[in-house]
Amino acid sequence: MAVEGAPAGYLQDFYGPGHGSHKKIGVLLLHGFTGSPASMRPWAHFLNDRGFTVRVPLIPGHGTRWQDLNKVKWPQWPAKAESELSLLAEECDYVFVFGLSMGGGNTLHVAARAKLREKISGIVLVNPMIHIPDLAINFVGLIKHLVAKRPSVGDDIKKPGVTEWGYDALPTKGVAELHKFL
């Protein structure tokens, strides 16, 4: 079951092959926590329309049901990003990694630790999540055993007609993994 109301295929990995003089420049776009590739699609289409090779992966535990995020471990997130980075590095001379929110944290992780980090020509961070400034996060290891989810901001994009297609709940086990990741 996918996030309710999302257009078919909109929550899945996106790949746009490059063309023209920019086809050897790759861009990896990483979405945020509880989000999906849908939040990055406007950027993906903008860049791909201009010839850049673009990949937008669905990060494990996202784009389906909030319960699925309670089943993943944080190392799966950078592993997915590294896998996509590897694919871009095979076909592009230059690779840039863009991250939104948790995707920004993922970008920093991959840029600092990935085996292919030397293939990264640059990074762009938008509202990068690098820590959680809430004292309650220190208790998430206990809370995750008592409460399965908490309310979420869900879709917080204000532009009319644009949606993130993210979860409307914060899965507490997923938040515990996020805390370990950051």
**What is the DSSP code string of 77-124?**
HHHHHHHHHHHHHHH-SEEEEEEETHHHHHHHHHHHH-TTGGGEEEEE
Average pLDDT, the chain: 85
Distance in angstroms (rounded) separating the CA atoms of residues 156 and 164: 8
Q: What is the pLDDT of residues 89-118, one digit of tens each?
A: 999 999 999 999 999 999 999 999 878 888
pLDDT band at 141 (very low <50, low <70, confident <90, very high): low
Which of 9-13, 14-18, 90-94, 109-113 has the least mean pLDDT?
A: 9-13
What is the pTM for the complete model shown?
0.86
pLDDT value for 145: 73
pLDDT above 90 (res 154): no
Percent above pLDDT 90 for the chain: 49
For residues 118 and 134, the model is more confident at 118
Q: Yes or no: say if 44 and 68 are a contact pair by the CB < 8 Å rule.
A: no
> For 14-181, CATH number?
3.40.50.1820
What per-residue confidence (pLDDT) applies to 173?
83
